[in-house]
Amino acid sequence: MIEKIRLWLSAELNSRILSDPPFSSYAEAAEQFLRELQNAPLPQGVLDQVKEQVSAALLTIMELRLRKIVWELGQARVPSRVTAEEDRLIRPLVKIRQAGPQRKRAQEYVVVQFLVDHPTIVTEDFVQVGPFTRGDLAKLPLRDAKDLEERGVARRFLGA
């Protein structure tokens, strides 16, 4: 059980998007953890430390996921792969957004030419592109293009 929570935390830390939660809700995770802990033949001091560490891990997972959810809502997207508690939190916000005037955010894209080989990247609009070899052209969001340009990986392609 602790390993399952550790893997969930690792998945959230290593991804810009929400990972698949291994539990349908945080309540389910807590109940399962407490059930398993009741049968553990550990001294009370160790049990208290384990509870504290798991609680801290779950709070970190919640914070990371809420940041990602808020970002997605700000991008006018409905987050998927949410827990029951997260769904209850965002459902009213999604309804308000759907009831209001629909605006489409225009994303500015530019063409870049890669100056060096580069592995796959995930753009700011969560599109996976690449890998790239020297000389490849790609159409990327302006912010991603600027980042690659600043790092000397690519330059904006002006064309003919």
Give residues with Cβ within 8 angstroms of 18, minimum separation 6. Answer: 12, 65, 68, 69, 72, 79, 80, 81, 82
More confident residue, 106 or 140: 140
**Cβ distance 40 to 48 under 8 Å?**
no
pLDDT at 105 over 60: no
Q: Residue 132: its pLDDT value, please?
A: 94
DSSP string of 71-121, one letter each residue: HHHHTT----S--HHHHHHHHHHHHHHHHS----PPPPEEEEEESS-B--E
Burial class (CB in 10 A: 0-12, 13-18, 19+), 86: buried
What is the separation of C-alpha 42 from the centre of its chain, rounded to a whole number of angstroms? 35
Burial class (CB in 10 A: 0-12, 13-18, 19+), 126: exposed
Residues β-bridged to residue 140: 110
If one looks up domain 109-156 in CATH, what number appears? 3.40.5.50
pLDDT in tens, 47-95: 888 889 988 999 999 999 999 998 888 888 888 889 999 999 888 888 8
Q: Residue 54: its pLDDT value, please?
A: 87
pLDDT in tens, 109-137: 899 999 999 999 888 877 889 899 999 99
Domain residue spans of the chain: 2-99, 109-156
Give residues with Cβ within 8 angstroms of 58, minimum separation 6. Answer: 5, 26, 29, 30
**Cβ distance 137 to 115 under 8 Å?**
no
Domains 2-99 and 109-156 share a fold: no
Q: Stretch 132-147: mean pLDDT, rounded?
A: 91
CATH class for the region spanning 2-99: mainly alpha
**Cβ distance 141 to 109 under 8 Å?**
yes
